[in-house]
Amino acid sequence: MLRKLSSGLIGLLLLAAPLAHAFEPTTQKVTDNVYAIIGELDQRSADNQGLNNTTGFIITADGVVLVGSGATAGSAKMLEAAVKSVTDKPIKQVINIGVQDHHWMGNSHFLAQKIPVSALAKTVASQHEQEPMNRMRLSSAIGGKPEDLKVEYASETFEGDEKTLTIGGVEMSLRYLGDAHFPGDAVLWLPKEKLVFTSDMVFNERMLGVLPEISKVKDWQATFKKMAELKPEHVIAGHGAPSDLATAQKNTGDYLDWLVTEVGKSLEEMEDLGDAVKRLSADDKFSFLKLSKDLHGRNVHQTYLQLEAE
């Protein structure tokens, strides 16, 4: 009898194990009414349902404004749960500011609840252009077929590079400052709070990735500088924990400057691509960033090719 009970107990524990270890994002208060939802720092996986980025939300008098919808219905539900852990107010609005999958491909979950999703038309146009590759990368990371991913775009779009919104008494400005990790990435600026949601323009704690044929390093560098001109006191990055501007500069701005400057010098000295990548990859100035061993050499390689082509 004891042996049977033990076997049954072991079976229950095995069934419960995936739930016990299921990924849950961290919710962090940034200001009185703004919270960050911090996804996994590592790569996307079936466990995190593509939520390896940072999003967040704003609590207003009329309800919650969610910035980003996750990558899938599964990660959208994680964001929904994170909001409910803080407030009983319903999500009234979703705003898309990023082009990579984990910032907007969970839209369908909220649209099914008749929650409007807003974005700049420029961001949505880039989402359309990048959708096939977003599907392929995401399905490869989390499993399943690309065609099985349900993708829906914003229900409301705004032309131009800037749209000011006032929701529940909170003023916010949706802005395109220039291309960053993806073309069409935008920011959401809250002037009263001096807070900016940067999407993937800023990577904190982990190293950014320069994606072939997508991330233009010099454009990204210029866009970061425009964001810095806002002089935010609070930066909610696209990856990693919220921070002040100085931390964002150290983790992202300085690295972009380093890539452009050091790879630029290599080209001026007519250093061969292979030699440049080998030499500059050994520079450990940014080794404090997670995933640097995986990404640093690739970033040098891509930057070299881009600057060489100019």
What count of other Cβ atoms lies within 10 Å of the Cβ of residue 35?
23
**Residue listed under structure tokens 């395109």:** 176
**CA distance to 107, 111, 155, 254, 255, per residue, from 224 (Å):** 27, 31, 28, 10, 11
Main-chain phi, psi angles of 147, to 5 degrees: -70, -15
| C-alpha–C-alpha distance, residues 281 and 274, integer Å | 10
pLDDT tens digits for range 103-140: 999 999 999 999 999 999 999 999 999 999 999 999 99
DSSP string, 159-177: -SSEEEEEETTEEEEEE--
| C-alpha–C-alpha distance, residues 98 and 69, integer Å | 10
* DSSP code of residue 25: P
* Whole-number percent of the chain with pLDDT over 70: 93
Q: Does 207 have pLDDT greater than 50? A: yes
pLDDT tens digits for range 229-243: 999 999 999 999 999
Average pLDDT, rounded, for the chain: 93
CA 305 to chain centre: 25
What is the pLDDT at residue 277? 98
Domains assigned to the chain: 23-245 (3.60.15.10)
Main-chain phi, psi angles of 36, to 5 degrees: -100, 145
**CA distance to 48, 64, 128, 207, 250, per residue, from 42 (Å):** 10, 28, 26, 10, 20
Q: Does 206 have pLDDT greater than 70? A: yes
Handedness of CA 81, 87, 93, 99 (dihedral sign): negative
Q: Does 97 have pLDDT greater than 80? A: yes
Q: Does 295 have pLDDT greater than 80? A: yes
Q: Does 224 have pLDDT greater than 70? A: yes
**Residue listed under structure tokens 């000295």:** 269
Amino acid identity of residue 174, one-letter, is L
Structure tokens given for 284: 């450990």
| C-alpha–C-alpha distance, residues 117 and 93, integer Å | 6
What is the pLDDT at residue 22? 74
Using an 8 Å Cβ cutoff, are 300 and 280 in contact? yes
Q: What is the mean pLDDT of residues 195-208?
A: 98
Q: Exposed/middle/buried for 12, CB within 10 Å: 0-12, 13-18, 19+?
A: exposed
Range of weakest confidence among 138-152, 154-168, 197-211, 277-291 = 138-152
Q: Does 210 have pLDDT greater than 70? A: yes
Q: What is the mean pLDDT of residues 14-31?
A: 69
Structure tokens given for 44: 């996307």
Q: Does 1 have pLDDT greater than 60? A: no
97 closest CA partner among 122, 126, 73, 68: 68
